[in-house]
Amino acid sequence: MKITFEDIFKSGFLEKIASVSILDMVLTMALSFGLGILIFFVYKKTFKGVMYSSSFGVTLIALTMISSLVILAVTSNVVLSLGMVGALSIVRFRTAIKEPLDIAFLFWAIAVGIVLAAGMIPLAVFGSVIIGLMLLIFANKKTHDNPYIVVIHCGDPRAEATVCNALQSSVQKSVIKSKTVTAESVELHYEVRLKSGDTAFVNALQALPGVNNVVLVSYNGEYMG
């Protein structure tokens, strides 16, 4: 029995190739790339972390386009959509998200890709503009009550009271976060609010008798310099 080329694709594979038009593919991928660039730009302008990662910004662009690609395939074939759900359900990501705002950017990129591929182009564009403006305004908003952590090492345990009184008189607010006591020293961690941008009080604390060293670091949920 002779098998022809048409018999090999008897299931209708060739017909499914044209299920998504070339125009839809080009338009969706172009728009997803453009909105991905917008997401990348907003991420770069609102980044507040310790070290900027350009690879994460490129990932946002790629994630927008990949989401559009997947949804285009899913909407064109019901059987493929069921298989795609099963395939994606076993995917696990091990990379830790250190900045809470990064989660918003990831969901933003995925949502834009899904909405674009679903054909809701005005919603994707308008929503992206509104979200971008909101993030630019609120993420870059300056606060005058920035928290700091003061780490004080006292070689003499008797100097603890003197250091605490001096610290309270030098800052607007101070709250002890932890205290470590050993036979030779005492280590104090204070969360403080400065009265102004002047950090000269750190030098004054260091000059007190019994104080080995004083460290001042900014605080945003994790230690950072």
At a CB cut-off of 8 Å and minimum separation 6, what does 102 contact? 56
Residue type, 78: V
The single residue listed with the structure tokens 């604390």 is 205
Q: Is 210 left (phi over 0), alpha (psi -120 to 50) or beta?
A: left
Two tokens at 151?
A: 């780490």
Q: Residue 22 above 70 pLDDT?
A: yes
Quote the CA–CA distance of 160 and 99 in Å, as a whole number.
Answer: 35
Go through the domains of the chain in sequence order and give each one's CATH number: 5-139 (no CATH), 147-224 (3.30.70.260)
Residue with tokens 């593919």: 25
Instruction: Write out pLDDT tens, residues 154-201.
Output: 877 777 888 888 888 888 888 888 888 887 788 888 888 887 777 788
**Dihedral sign, CA of 33, 38, 44, 49?**
negative
38-52, 64-78, 81-95, 133-147: range with lowest mean pLDDT:
81-95
Beta-bridge partners for 149: 191, 217
3-state secondary structure of 155: coil
- The CA–CA distances, whole Å, from 149 to 43, 165, 169, 206, 209 equal 27, 17, 16, 15, 21
Average pLDDT over residues 211-224: 70
Closest CA to 117 of 179, 172, 75: 75
Is a pLDDT exceeding 70 seen at residue 216? yes
Length of the chain: 225
Q: Decide: pTM greater than 0.75.
A: no
